[in-house]
Structure 1
Amino acid sequence: MRDVLVAGAGPAGWALASACARLGLRTALVAPAPRERWPATYGVWRDELPDLPGYAIAAAPAATLAVGTSGHRLDREYLILDNDGLRRHLTHPAVEVLTGRAEGLQARVVVNATGARARPGGAEQTAYGLVLPAEDAAPLVPANTALLMDWSHPVRDPSFLYAVPRSDGVLVEETSLARAPGLPPDILAARLRHRLSAAGIRIPASPREELVRIPLDAPRAPAPAFGAAAGLIHPATGYSLATSLRLAPPVARALHEGLRDGPAEAIRAASHEIWPPAARAVHRLRLHGFRALLTMSPQTTAEFFELFFRLPAELQRAMTSGRTDLAGTVAAMTELFREAPWRVRIALMALG
């Protein structure tokens, strides 16, 4: 009998399966295509994953910029991951790899790591991107630079430019941060092409495209679940990868120790490791910010992020990465509200 069966072969599924195998648990991972390449471009803050090996990093830009109503250089290092290297980092040879689905397979604990399921009409982050030669992208983003957000071209439904170096060029992406329902890719594609044309950038005849669709208010799958299926997506940023990779070892330990007293105790211990009281409290505050974003006009959105980019790095880190940092999250939100003009305060207070 297997100890753990992980359903889902994305980075979260592989991270948890390998962490369990390292502890000696008899672990299997199952997915319809468990060796399929991951198509997304993943970005993380280095301080979230300081032990990430070099072969899992595709680019470590020298600078990270952001634009609200003015430009800012952020005091955090942003990394673009190499997906093949990341898979190598997350793969353990003791994991039994199965092709198919979890139905009918036996294990003491079966963990759902198949990702978040969008609800009809639910809020989503959507994006449309093109990979350009680095020299072609230079009018929008300097060489060896990550442009995290650029809100300087507000339109009716706010979207921003995201541009990061990759091993094969520069990904330039038009992103709708939060909208219900998500902004369709054809609209984002038209905006991106207009933005590129205005900058004098020629679009290749057959460019490499990237589409993003992240459910921001998807219901959590029943326990035991992990990764996006467990609700680990940050509702105001769409990020979940670093959180999943950080949590995989302690969740594996919880399963390992809990299984000594049976599957029910293992599931309880793992669920507590994923959602301790502090994480639940921080998540409620993040949901408040997410709902406020859904109501903001383009001008108010740009002003809100202008305030965010002015925060000290430790408060920015608390809001984006401090999943159990209740004090830091409260301090950051308090400072944002204190500095906000009235139209931003109204948007925040309307959901209080």
Structure 2
Amino acid sequence: MDVIVLGGGPAGRALAGSCAEAGLETTLVDPRPDKPWTSTYGAWADELPKETPIAVRAPVTRAIGVEHHVLDREYVVLDNTRLHLLPPAVRVEVGKSTSITLGPHRSSVRLADGRTLTAALVVDATGAPPSRGRVEQTAAGVVVTKEEAKAVLDDGEALIMDWRQPPVTGVEWPTFLYAVPLGPDRVLLEETSLARRPGLPVAELRTRLASRLAGHGIAPTTVEEQVRFPVDLSRPTRLTFGAAAALVHPATGYSVATTLTLAPLVAEAVADALPKGPRAARAAAKQIVWSPAAKLVHTMRRHGLRALLAMPPEQVPEFFDLFFRLPDELRRSYLSDREDVAGATKAMAELFRHAPWRLRRTLVLAPQDR
């Protein structure tokens, strides 16, 4: 066996499939490999590989801070059913890993049922570590009909952020409405806390969502989707992929597009380097996942996260107005290009240049990581 990938989420499946397509003998290990995904995965269309399965396209994308912004960038929702598929060459083992032992020539994975699997490389793609004490993104959403959603979303649109606060809130913390089409007659409406330590409780998000929907004349319904994951992840030293490798964007929470883009590059690097031994293959994979440029951009985005956490609630919509006024290429660089150091630097400099002094102070004096 050449590669064992632990974890059958979008990152693990993308990497396992890419490794198999690169000619590597690959096994995917997951406790419930046939379980369908219930989360909604959205992304900008231009940051995805061309072969990515798309469920719905939204040619018009809007965002609201204090002002309304129409963004010249298509947004899409991924097709979970097709994204879940694996090439026939990938061997699937049902199980949960309990330990990994690295060796100079082979590595082994111990499973909860007592079995041991061995391969030249083991990649942990089991997701983010427990988020206790970390900065979390949380959300609670409902699915309504397109007719019901008309008050907030027109046909062919995606609303990635609406920072106008609902009438009823129990905690002084800014949240936004995220609204995307899921199909011909289904729309997801989700109240989202972008980042908070600890994450804003789901009960508070439910209250806010019900209040917001009532204000738009939409009858409250049961929560159908809940989100909770850490965004202030540190880069691990072992070989990991996806959220386990801290590939979650610190300032937005997005990660799936990045993992889908990197998966074939990592697989090719491993296939090229593996004849030289597992150590060379691990080093090649890590270089793809965390190049020096990617590390530097990640550091800058972490500063953006700290600044966001330090802002008084009333400054957050104003901050996003400034961000959405940036030229398209600078927004794209900061949101999507994880190796464009010059672009990320220019985006942050432009935002600072146009910010009022009270917001500049927050941007400069944001506390360091802890």
TM-score interval, normalised by the smaller of the two chains: over 0.9
1:174 aligns with 2:169: no
Letter in 2 for 1:73: V
User: What is the aligned partner in structure 1 of residue 284 from structure 2?
Assistant: 269
- Identify unmatched segments of 5+ residues in structure 1: none
User: What is the aligned partner in structure 1 of residue 45 from structure 2?
Assistant: 46
Q: 1:208 offset after TM fit, Å?
A: 5.6
Letter in 1 for 2:233: A
Q: 1:272 to 1:111 in 2, by over 3 A?
A: same
Contact 2:233 2:248 in 1 (8 A): no
**Counterpart secondary structure, 1:202:** coil
Q: Distance in 1 between matches of 2:293 and 2:237?
A: 20
Q: 162, 165, 190: which one pairs with 2:181?
A: 165
Q: Distance in 1 between matches of 2:33 and 2:362?
A: 44
User: What is the aligned partner in structure 2 of residue 60 from structure 1?
Assistant: 57
Contact 1:9 1:35 in 2 (8 A): no
TM-score (norm 1): 0.95
1:86 aligns with 2:51: no
Q: Distance in 1 between matches of 2:226 and 2:132?
A: 19
Letter in 1 for 2:60: A
Aligned-residue CA RMSD (Å)? 1.4
Q: Distance in 2 between matches of 1:118 and 1:144?
A: 37
Q: 1:335 to 1:173 in 2, by over 3 A?
A: same
Q: 1:143 offset after TM fit, Å?
A: 2.1
Q: Distance in 1 between matches of 2:312 and 2:62?
A: 23
1:36 aligns with 2:35: yes
1:101 aligns with 2:100: no
Q: 1:50 offset after TM fit, Å?
A: 4.8
Deviates more, 1:126-135 or 1:251-260: 251-260
Contact 1:59 1:81 in 2 (8 A): yes
Deviates more, 1:57-66 or 1:237-246: 57-66
Contact 2:49 2:261 in 1 (8 A): no
Q: Distance in 2 between matches of 1:52 and 1:147?
A: 25
Q: 308, 318, 337: which one pairs with 1:322?
A: 337
Letter in 2 for 1:133: T
Q: 1:144 offset after TM fit, Å?
A: 2.2
Contact 1:25 1:256 in 2 (8 A): yes
Give the structure with the higher percent helix.
1
Deviates more, 1:144-153 or 1:177-186: 144-153
**Counterpart secondary structure, 1:270:** helix
- Identify unmatched segments of 5+ residues in structure 2: 98-109, 111-115
**Counterpart secondary structure, 1:186:** helix
1:131 aligns with 2:128: no
Q: 334, 344, 348: which one pairs with 2:359?
A: 344
Contact 1:8 1:30 in 2 (8 A): yes
Q: 1:37 offset after TM fit, Å?
A: 0.8
Letter in 2 for 1:191: R
Contact 2:49 2:260 in 1 (8 A): no
Q: Distance in 2 between matches of 1:75 and 1:312?
A: 10
Letter in 2 for 1:92: P
User: What is the aligned partner in structure 2 of residue 22 from structure 1?
Assistant: 21
Q: 1:237 offset after TM fit, Å?
A: 0.3
Letter in 1 for 2:44: W
Q: Distance in 1 between matches of 2:237 and 2:326?
A: 37
Q: 1:13 offset after TM fit, Å?
A: 0.4
Contact 1:64 1:147 in 2 (8 A): yes
Instruction: Could you list the structure 1 runs, at least 4 aligned residues long, displaced by more than 4 angstroms after superposition.
Output: none
**Counterpart secondary structure, 2:181:** strand
Q: 1:131 offset after TM fit, Å?
A: 0.4
User: What is the aligned partner in structure 1 of residue 217 from structure 2?
Assistant: 200
Q: Distance in 2 between matches of 1:38 and 1:220?
A: 26
Letter in 2 for 1:107: A
TM-score (norm 2): 0.91
Count residues with an aligned counterpart.
Answer: 345
